[in-house]
Amino acid sequence: MPDTPDSMLETPVPDWRFCEPLDAHALEQIFREAHTTRRWADRPVPDSILAQAYDLAKLAPTSGNSQPLRILFVRSPEAKALLKPCLSPGNVEQTMAAPVTAIFAMDLEFYEHLPFLYPTEDARSWFAGKPEAIQGNAELGSALQAGYFILAARALGLACGPMGGFGRHKADETFFLGTDWGRTWRSRFLCNIGYPGEGGFRPRDPRFAFDQACRVA
């Protein structure tokens, strides 16, 4: 058998001709029947499923493939006890009951990884020493990736309860600033993750119709 050229061993570029709409069941699970969850079943979420969700979320589009999202999964009773004082009162009960709470964060030194993540250009120079560019890209990219994570979690059979009611600075001081790995991480929002319990959903609130929220120029 002749040797295979190295170029043929590279990962093939996806052929978009094979992209077809998802079936109705998939759309129901990810979008139409998915609700923010507030009550949780007593059922653990394996690390393997969290890893699968992240492996999908990391494929979100980010500027220069910068991937600024960082996630701390708060699971242990000790970590939950540290998170509790950071929460707004209305979020304590549901968060303490959730099997996992993700702290979605952004890495303000994401650009230091760009020589690896985007080796075709000097993308680090786009951001290094430019605080406004760093902040803007970190906020946008981490939000895109976090949104992908929620959709990925739903696709894998999990329910999510994203929320912003917590003290970001307190959470950063509690979990990130004193560590070697998280000193440049800054909290964006929280997301409880698990399997829904009985009565975990409220009826869906109204949504804008296309012609109320969109224009075509």
User: Radius of gyration (Cα) for the chain, nearest Å?
Assistant: 20
pLDDT at residue 113 greater than cutoff 70: yes
CA–CA distance, 33 with 207 (Å, rounded to integer): 14
Q: Each residue of 41-50: pLDDT tens digit?
A: 999 999 999 9
* pLDDT-above-90 percentage for the chain: 86
Neighbours of 161 (CB within 10 A): 23
CA–CA distance, 17 with 139 (Å, rounded to integer): 33
Is 127:63 a contact under the CB 8 Å cutoff?
A: no
What is the 8-class DSSP label of residue 161? E
Place of tokens 């990810």: 30
Whole-structure pTM value: 0.89
Is 87:165 a contact under the CB 8 Å cutoff?
A: yes
Q: Each residue of 160-176: pLDDT tens digit?
A: 999 999 999 999 999 99
Q: Each residue of 127-158: pLDDT tens digit?
A: 999 999 999 999 999 999 999 999 999 999 99
Please report the domains of the chain, with CATH numbers, ordered by start residue: 35-197 (3.40.109.10)
DSSP letter string, 20-81: -PPPHHHHIIIIIT-----SB-S----HHHHHHHHHHHTTS--GGG---EEEEEE-SHHHHH
Confidence of residue 7 (pLDDT cuts 50, 70, 90): very low
Mean pLDDT of 11-39: 84
